[in-house]
Structure 1
Amino acid sequence: MSEQPERPRRSATATGPGRILIAVYAIFALSATARAAVQIAGKFSEAPVAYLLSGLAGVVYILATIGLAGRKPGYRRLAWAAVVFELVGVLVIGTLTVFDTGDFPDDTVWSVYGRGYGFIPLILPFVGLWWLRHTRARH
């Protein structure tokens, strides 16, 4: 009898609805990073803080995507860190852009809680945190 080789287990976060969540994060990673790259390359002097924050958001979305899709425990920790950072970022930048528009002459991904992206940047980290908690190992 030949023994079947053990197949690598899929990450719990990358199954079922988690695949949709990863796809949404990947789309935001691509769009935020591309937007920031164009802004930084073409008109950085107009709003450097806003454009750098958009770049930071893009990096955070990339890390969250990698963390959610990864299979090892370290990836799960990466996902937690990225999604928590994302939540803090969207709440802080969202609040600052509501009350002090002078420092942000152009929008970031997280401006006014992601208004330019249909408020998905505000909702996404809550969904991400819920999914990470929902898929945690049961002891």
Structure 2
Amino acid sequence: MTTPVAPSAHTAAPVAAKRMTGIGRVLVIVYAVMALGATGRSFVQIVERFDHAPLAFSLSAASALVYILATLALIFSRREAWYRIAWVAIVFELVGVLAIGTVSLVVPELFPEATVWSGFGIGYVFIPLVLPFLGLWWLFTHRTRVAAKTGSAE
């Protein structure tokens, strides 16, 4: 017969319920699909015709890196460091979509070819515009214990 052992200072505190369920999983899948799409798009654009629109194609590559980072950060967001990285990546994504979307409409000659974020993501059915808002909402509603304590102390 085995007696249950009480948690000690050396064992990790149990994490609240499993974090990646429902909308969290869907969000990670959408971010992963965007990462693959943006990576593929930027790779083809850069390899085939980089001289035609270097700014646009470089921005597509940058968006791919942001989507990759956001995907990984959301997957590992139980850990405080990854949770913070997710916030930074998704806020950067939102600013990028809004800035590049605006500039691409106001000064279209800077974008002779579309990027992932040009026209606020029109080539991707505006998913790049909606996704960061959903990501930030999910992060806010699924704060880590440390972040929750820090937020309530301020």
Tell me whether the two structures share a fold, i.e. TM-score over 0.5: yes
Counterpart selection for 1:105 from 109, 112, 115: 112
Instruction: Specify every segment of 5 or more residues in structure 1 that has no aligned partner in the other structure, as ranges.
Output: none
1:11-51 per-residue CA deviation (whole Å, 9 max, x = no partner) reads 63x22210000000000001101110111011100000000
Change (3 A) 1:11 1:85: farther
Please point out which of 115, 128, 141 is paired with 1:134: 141
In the TM superposition, 1:66-105 aligns within 5 A as 66-70=72-76, 71-105=78-112
Match of residue 30 from structure 1: 36
Q: In the alignment, does 2:26 pair up with 1:20?
A: yes
Cα distance, 1:113 vs structure 2? 0.2
Judge conservation of contact 1:11–1:69 (CA < 8 Å) in 2.
no
Contact 1:80 1:129 in 2 (8 A): yes
Secondary structure at the counterpart of residue 15 of structure 1: coil
**Is residue 36–residue 51 contact of structure 1 (8 Å, CA) maintained in 2?**
yes
> How high is the sequence identity, in percent, across the aligned residues?
50
Cα 1:36–1:97 shift into 2, 3 Å = same
1:120 paired residue number: 127
With the length of structure 1 as denominator, give the TM-score of the two structures. Answer: 0.91
Tell me, in whole angstroms, the C-alpha distance in 1 between the residues paired with 2:18 and 2:37: 25
**CA–CA separation in structure 1 for the residues paired with 2:48 and 2:4:** 58
- How many Å separate the matches in 1 of 2:18 and 2:62? 26
Task: Note closer, same or farther for the CA distance 1:15–1:113 as it changes in structure 2 (3 Å cut).
Answer: same
Number of equivalenced pairs? 138
Would you say the 8 A contact 1:44–1:51 is kept in 2? yes
4+ residue segments displaced more than 2 Å: 2-6, 8-12
Matched, 1:57 2:63: yes
Contact 1:114 1:122 in 2 (8 A): yes
Q: Which amino acid aligns with 1:65?
A: T
Could you tell me which runs of 5 or more consecutive residues in structure 2 were left unpaired when the two chains were aligned.
6-10, 150-154
Whole-angstrom CA distance in 1 between matches of 2:4 and 2:68: 38
* C-alpha distance in 1 between matches for 2:132 and 2:62: 15
